[in-house]
A = this chain, B = another copy of it.
Amino acid sequence: MGLPKIVVMGAGFGGLMTVRGLQKQLNHQEAEITLINLNPYHYVTTQLHEPAAGTLDPNHTRVAIDSLISRDKVRFIQDKVTGFDPKEKVVRLAGTEENLSYDYLICALGANTETFGAKGVLENALLINNLNSARMIREHIEYNFARYQASGEKNEELLTIVVGGAGFTSVEFVGELVDRLPYLCAEFDIPREKVKIITIEAAPTVMPGFDKELVDYAVNYLSGKGVDFRINTPIEAVTEDGVILKGGEEVKAANVVWNCGVRGNSLLEETGLETMRGRVKVDEFLRAPGYEDLFIIGDNSLVFNDEERPYPPTAQMAMQQGQHLAKNMVAVLRGGDMTPYVYAPKGTVASLGRKIGIGTVGKNNKKVFGRKASLLKKIIDARWFFILGGISLAFKKAKL
């Protein structure tokens, strides 16, 4: 009989924490571990708004998977997962006809874009989803700035940037953009006042769910930098020319970034699992309902707080889940008991460009503002690189 086969889909925060926990805790003869990922690198999703705005080299946000796994303990397959079957216990891959069988499957595939029924989003909008799409945003904006300057028409729609959604990542993205604009304008000889940034949010507030005082701080700061916020304004469609708002108003813009939220990966629905906005309500051991061998972590897992409200999907939770799951897997393999996963929120910090930020930290949600919050954010970023590659990687990637 062969070793138990553990297959981990996705090398994001959750998947990597699981794999690295397993390779650290397991001996060679305890399991056969396979990690599947689309790219040969891991990227730091929570930093993508920076290369998207052009304030950070995209290479900063990624680390080669080769350097993160022990090749003698973990097999790495670079491929696209096209589906999986929890009854047959197989994973389907784009690059091979042969299905990959498993004894335990860990789904850490990450989220899909939530369109909220708006038309044309996936066809016409730019997305801060992955390294390629983030890089695309930077190039798209630069290209349009070049086009504005090179054509005689001076079409100002080329200089209009609409950001759909004013949630956490949108505010961080806009914060980077206002940092970058002076340089971008200087490079392309464009007067700063010609550039418009319009952030459009369906909810009655910017950063829904965030502390009002912090939100006010962010809005004041960004408004002062020329960002226009429109709340209570759902977007009905993204077109080739801009966005159509509820009620019919059109905002013309050659640069539309859609960032209204995420839903679970469509592969989960296709598998027949019961989902809410694509996410699966997992049990205390992070298992999909009805399965003892299918674990779902990260953006695809739905975890509820004491008030029966779902926690938003965050890197923080994905990391905790991955770490916890690795321990539980080890216990299972060794005939022990799993322990329940309980989310332990440590706080949330958003950057507003390179120098300031806002956030809450600790159990009492202590508020932090300005430079202190910015520093905290950089420490949080550095911490992840420290976990992945120790002090040398943290130092290499530090932005302090």
Which A residues form the contact surface with B (CB < 8 A)?
Answer: 58-59, 132-133, 135-136, 138-140, 142-143, 145-147, 149-150, 187-189
Contacts and interface: CB of A to CB of B under 8 A. Distances in A.
B139 A146 contact: yes
A107 to B, nearest CB: 21
A186 to B, nearest CB: 9
Nearest to A147: B136
27 contacts: A58-B187, A59-B187, A132-B146, A132-B149, A132-B150, A132-B189, A133-B150, A135-B146, A135-B149, A135-B150, A135-B188, A136-B146, A136-B147, A136-B149, A136-B150, A138-B146, A139-B139, A139-B142, A139-B143, A139-B145, A139-B146, A139-B147, A140-B143, A140-B146, A142-B142, A142-B143, A143-B143
Contacts of A59: 187
Most buried by B among A133, A135, A150, A187: A150
- Copies of this protein in the assembly total 2
A364 to B, nearest CB: 42
A321 B216 CA distance: 63
Nearest to A188: B135
Contacts of A140: 143, 146
Nearest to A80: B152
A112 to B, nearest CB: 14
Contacts of A132: 146, 149-150, 189
A58 B145 CA distance: 14
Given A136-B146, A139-B145, 4 more contacts: A58-B187, A132-B146, A139-B139, A142-B142
Contacts of A187: 58-59
A150 B150 CA distance: 25
A136 B149 CA distance: 9
A374 to B, nearest CB: 27
A57 to B, nearest CB: 9
A168 B169 CA distance: 48
